[in-house]
A = this chain, B = another copy of it.
Amino acid sequence: MERKELTSGVYLISKFDKNDFSFLENFTKIAVIFDENSKKYCYPVIKDFIPENHIQIKIESGEENKNLETCKSIWDILTNNSFDRKSIVLNLGGGVIGDMGGFCAATYKRGIAFVQIPTTLLSQVDASVGGKLGIDFNGFKNHIGVFQLPERVLVHPRFIKTLVKEELRSGYAEVIKHFLIADKAKWEALRQKPINNQDFDSLIPENILIKDQVVTSDPKEKGLRKILNFGHTIGHAIETHFLFQKSKKLLHGEAIAIGMICETYLSQKILGLSESDLDEVTEYVLNTYGKVEISSVDLDYIIPHMQQDKKNEGNRLNFSLLESNGKALFDQEISEEMAKESINFYNSL
């Protein structure tokens, strides 16, 4: 079987054919959004199965383009091509394309349909599920956005074969995270093998199902869904800090990897996570990602970024932490001092 519905509207597709796109008949106009990479490696794989009269919207790759300016250019093209409310947008690419293309669709004429076709490991196991859409604003990640579910999600694991090593590693951080917060057995299995020996054809659907289960139980992130932010409070702040630094570029997952080590350290301090659990995480993550130097100057910028984390309420820094490897708790209050200490712990490794 070449197509399987993993969960409502999310399809795992081992080989595309025209049936995968027959639902497009119900729409008046179709746009495909891609960047130079997904245009080159992924668009040829699906092009012939999409109605011929679709329009192409090419944007430049990179998180630095996930902003209002690019949205304006997308809205412009939709407007100039007379896209109406019954039209649809296919987002073919990684998280930037999915988040921003989805946001543009969800706000164009108060919302038109869109399809996520994630092409990176990161977007396949993370961004494609859960309906979080948005763009960066003033240097803050996903600061402007909405929750809106796509018409459907088409996941084709083979797309990740086109990724460079760094991109694969970036997505892999979310795989590690999913197992650490929700599945002890799978974490135990994962850490036995380095990234290059993993079977992604099974890891991808496993991860989608974990994320889907969490998200379905709490779509608007009022409670449980926050556990998905493990590693992200510090990770996002680090990512944001380095986003506009010319000298050092960190991919999302590379920043989250650092965040996971820091927040596992905090888990030990606050929730009494065992020393051996901390060691397991530290060792596996460092083996996979190596070490990044975070100077005390960096630190002074990183801490204030945490204040803008969307999980916070009032002056509290809210973290999701591990009770044990395989189980997370949300709404754990952490002081700035402790957050700083955890980054110093990472530095000391």
Residues in A lying within 8 Å of B, measured CB to CB = 28, 68, 72, 75-76, 79, 82, 84-86, 106-111, 132-134, 137-138, 140, 142-147, 220, 307-308, 310-314
Contact = CB atoms under 8 A, between A and B. Distances in A.
Given A110-B134, A146-B146, A310-B84, A140 B79 contact: yes
11 contacts: A28-B314, A75-B138, A79-B137, A79-B308, A84-B313, A86-B313, A86-B314, A108-B143, A109-B143, A109-B310, A110-B146
> Which of A76, A133, A134, A314 neighbours the largest number of chain B CB atoms within 10 Å of its CB?
A314
A137 B28 contact: no
Nearest to A29: B314
Contacts of A220: 111
Contacts of A133: 110
A133 B111 CA distance: 11
Contacts of A307: 82
Contacts of A84: 310, 312-314
A107 B145 contact: yes
Number of copies: 2
Main secondary structure on A side of the interface with B? mixed
B110 A142 contact: yes
A128 B142 CA distance: 28
B76 A138 contact: yes
Contacts of A142: 110
A72 B135 CA distance: 13
6 closest Cβ pairs, A-B complex: A28-B314, A110-B145, A109-B310, A86-B313, A107-B144, A84-B312
Contacts of A308: 79, 82
Nearest to A103: B107
A146 B310 contact: no
Contacts of A79: 137-138, 140, 143, 308
Contacts of A311: 85
A141 to B, nearest CB: 11
Contacts of A110: 132-134, 142, 145-147, 310
A110 to B, nearest CB: 5
B108 A144 contact: yes
Contacts of A109: 143, 145, 310
A106 B146 contact: yes
Given A68-B68, A107-B107, A134-B110, A143 B75 contact: yes
Contacts of A72: 68
Nearest to A140: B79
